[in-house]
Amino acid sequence: MQLHFTKDVLPDSVSTDFQNLNKLNEQFPRLIEILFQFLLEPKETEKFMQRLSEFAGEHGMSAGPLRNLMKSVLLVPQGALKKNLTAAQIKEDLVTLGLNEDKAAHFSQQWGEHYAALSRHAVGQTLMVNQLVDMEWKFGVTVGTSEVQKVGNIFLQLKLVVRKGNSTENVYMELTLPQFYNFLHEMERAKASMECFS
């Protein structure tokens, strides 16, 4: 079987699952809707399972086999996202797997509609090292020190919140005015550089 979304050899159960999918008619769109809701919010596995159970109940199916079926179906959009497949390519794959034309067309149309959001999300999942999560700041005037009674220097304090693995780390620093203006200038240059790539 030549498939766009994966180079792996799929277990036979996958073909069986797609053929079983053909048996659903009026229920198919709703099932696909549930599937895409999950793809758009991949962290909400419990909601997904719950919706599948409700669906199974409503249509006189057993929840367990339905879940297994969906696991097979999920392989296609998940692989397609990684490989940036078009709606046409995904439709071809579904047909190759045994899904009938109408259903494959419906699925790929939904894919096309949601592709932008799904893509953004996948890109958002891309590894970032020490991602800057938040920045807080305050500035003020140093009025005096133990060495010099009267001063009038402006200072700026920054707190950067950096994601390190599963937790965050706070980094505190102080900048003088010239350093602040330099920081601002450099960040503007970085932004200009990034905009070259858009």
Partner 1 sequence: MSSSAICVSHDSPTLTSPTANMAAAVSSEDFNTLQLLLKAPSKDAVRDVCIQSHRGPSRRLAETTASTLSIPAAQAAQLVQSLHRLSHHVLFNNLSSPEQILALFPESFHTSLKNLITKILLENSPTWRTDALSDQISLPQLKELDWRVDLVTGSDSVSRMSVPTCLVQLKMEDPCPAAGGKSISTVTVELGRESLDTILDGLGRIRDQLSVVAGK
Which stretches of the chain bind partner 1, using CB under 8 A? 81-84, 119, 122-123, 125-132, 135, 137, 139, 141-142, 145-151, 153-157, 160, 162, 171-177, 179-184, 186-191, 193-194, 197-198
Q: What is the closest distance, in whole angstroms, from the C-beta atom of residue 111 to partner 1 in the complex?
A: 15
* 84 phi-psi bin (left φ>0, alpha ψ -120 to 50, beta other): left
Q: What is the closest distance, in whole angstroms, from the C-beta atom of residue 10 to partner 1 in the complex?
A: 19
Q: What is the closest distance, in whole angstroms, from the C-beta atom of residue 67 to partner 1 in the complex?
A: 24
Q: What is the closest distance, in whole angstroms, from the C-beta atom of residue 118 to partner 1 in the complex?
A: 10
Nearer to partner 1, 9 or 194 (CB): 194
Nearer to partner 1, 12 or 196 (CB): 196
CA 103 to chain centre: 26
Q: What is the closest distance, in whole angstroms, from the C-beta atom of residue 139 to partner 1 in the complex?
A: 6
Neighbours of 76 (CB within 10 A): 24
Residues 6+ apart with CB under 8 A from 150: 143, 144
Nearer to partner 1, 27 or 157 (CB): 157
180, two tokens? 């602040």
Nearer to partner 1, 62 or 182 (CB): 182
CA 104 to chain centre: 24
Closest CA to 16 of 58, 60, 54, 68: 68
Distance CA 68, CA 83 (A): 24
| 150 in Cβ contact with 139 (< 8 Å) | no
Nearer to partner 1, 25 or 193 (CB): 193
12, two tokens? 């036979």
Nearer to partner 1, 50 or 179 (CB): 179
- Tell me which amino acid residue 148 is: V
Q: What is the closest distance, in whole angstroms, from the C-beta atom of residue 182 to partner 1 in the complex?
A: 7
Residue corresponding to tokens 């766009």 = 4
